[in-house]
Structure 1
Amino acid sequence: MSLVTVADVAHDDLALMPTIRSHSSDELEVVSQSATDPETGQFFFLVEGADDSFESALDADHTVCDWTLVSREGDTRVYRIGHPDDVILLSPVVTELGGLMLDAKSSDARGWTVRLQFSDRESLADLWQFCEAEGIEFNLRRTVRQDSWTNGEPTTLTDAQRQALVTAYELGYFREPRDASLADLADALDISPTAVSGRIRRGTAELIGATLLDE
């Protein structure tokens, strides 16, 4: 039996918070496999919608000590980012408590939305107490119990992805033939067609992974 929790976390000194706040339209995601050894202080981040101003934001971000552009394809980039010792990193704390950080994604300008897995509620309570002591905002979205340690519900579908999917459904983007184009969705959401396409693609992948795939 395990406990899977989705929560929103925010703090001025939490990793990449200044960048998230200044580039709320970009979507950041921790590449999970890179967080298996938090002692290195190096993490990989996938960024959707990034332009050159994003790298200027990294330079000005006090939670970043160094960064390297690893790969780039269109407006999707992968960065390796290092953090100073005084930056708050949640994943090492989760690991110390015997848990897993399954996903971590930026949540507009508010902070990070994380999906965590623990063996019991006591470990989750310990994490909440740590956040309270450090002044970290910790807003619990939902929690479910699972029979095994599998990467299932609940999802970390972001508010932006949810809004894009719902808008696409309501305007008839998924009908055959379509009643709305990406340009129509972009106008409705006041973002670029490329951003709409990315949110629909990632949101759909998130829902499929959470509801249709079996371990």
Structure 2
Amino acid sequence: MNVIAEVYIAHPDLALTPTIRAVPEVSVQVVPHSGTDPETGMFFFLVEGESEALETFDAALEADHTVAESVLISESASTRIYRLSHPDGTKLLSPKTVEVGGLMLEAESDSTGWSVRLQLPDRESLTLLWEYCEEEGIAFELKQLYRQDEWTIGGVTGLTEAQEVALLLAYERGYFSEPRETSLEDLAEALDISPTAVGGRLRRGTAKLIEATFREDRGDQTDAR
């Protein structure tokens, strides 16, 4: 039976870790379909942040020893997509995840490392990943673990810890109230990230909540319209 694992990983040689630590105010996400293919050697990253932070990110990327080549694919005022390749010696979890029969569903920067969501065939494969990280000196902290068809820990949402923290803080401080009692800037100050990054976490977290709550139960109704 498949399991979903929410894991925090950290190591100075993990992909993009030097840049993430140098510019914690931006949010970095691996584009999932590319991040699970160990054969291509190319990975795509979505970066969100204020324009000034994005410029700082570019400078940090140039000095990042885990990046062999970077290409800016597209950009807007607050987001950019990069295609990156990594030199030998860079530590990656996605190839090992594929090797044990799993998928990396999501990976998001977390100021000093990565929060990742993995789909794995069983608990044994999770143990193999933990052993691999132990051998490589990669910090590996299991946050949540649940079966795909029966949620046993942490509810049914599949939210990353960062998204859950942002949503809870926004709710508690009245961001969703009418009239609104706080702003993205206030939330960003409390979380020590940029307003753009907060907005991204709220959007992605809200989308996951809607998907988990309504999609399966209302799919037939939606199709019938």
TM range (shorter): 0.7 to 0.9
**Match of residue 18 from structure 1:** 18
SS in 2 for 1:39: coil
**1:60 & 1:90 partners in 2: Cα distance?**
22
1:41-91: CA deviation from partner (whole Å, max 9, x where unpaired): 110000111521111111100000000111111111100011002211110
* TM-score between the two structures when normalised by the length of structure 2: 0.83
TM-score of the superposed pair, with normalisation by structure 1: 0.87
Q: Tell me by how many angstroms 1:19 deviates.
A: 0.7
Q: How many residues align?
A: 210
Contact 2:36 2:95 in 1 (8 A): no
1:94 to 2:97 alignment: yes
Contact 1:144 1:154 in 2 (8 A): no
8 Å CA contact 1:31–1:45 kept in 2: the answer is yes
Counterpart-to-counterpart distance in 1, 2:72 and 2:31: 14
Task: Give the Cα–Cα distance (whole angstroms) in 2 for the partners of residues 101 and 117 of structure 1.
Answer: 6
Could you tell me which residue of structure 2 aligns to residue 175 of structure 1?
177
Deviations 1:63-122 (A, max 9, x none): 00000111111111100011002211110101011111111111122x011111111111
Q: Which moved more, 1:31-40 or 1:100-109?
A: 31-40
Matches of 1:74 and 1:90, distance apart in 2: 31
Q: Residues 111-150 of structure 1: matches in 2 within 5 Å?
A: 111-147=113-149
Q: CA deviation at 1:182?
A: 3.8
Q: Separation in 2 of the partners of 1:156 and 1:21?
A: 23
Q: Does 1:207 align with 2:191?
A: no
Gapped regions of structure 1 (runs ≥ 5): none
Question: C-alpha distance in 1, partners of 2:126/2:197?
Answer: 34
Correspondence list, 1:101-116, <5 A? 101-109=104-112, 111-116=113-118
Matches within 5 A, 1:34-113: 34-49=34-49, 50-109=53-112, 111-113=113-115
**Separation in structure 1 between the aligned mates of residue 192 and residue 2 of structure 2, nearest angstrom:** 40
CA positional deviation for 1:200: 2.1
SS for the counterpart of 1:44 is: strand
> Matches of 2:166 and 2:148 in 1, distance apart?
29
Q: Cα gap change, 1:208/1:157 in structure 2, threshold over 3 Å: closer, same or farther?
A: farther
Helix, strand or coil at the partner of 1:95: helix
Q: Which amino acid letter does the alignment assign opposite residue 2 of structure 2?
A: S
1:8-46 CA distances to partner (integer Å, 9 max, x unpaired)? 001111111101111111111000111343222110000
Q: Read off the aligned partner of 1:91 and give its amino acid letter.
A: S
Measure, in 2, the Cα distance between the counterparts of 1:189 and 1:125.
32
In structure 2, the CA distance between the partners of 1:21 and 1:211, relative to structure 1 (3 Å rule), is farther
Change (3 A) 1:18 1:168: same
Distance in 2 between residues matched to 1:157 and 1:200, nearest whole Å: 11
> Superposition RMSD on alpha carbons, in Å?
2.3
Taking only the aligned residue pairs, the percentage that are identical comes to 56
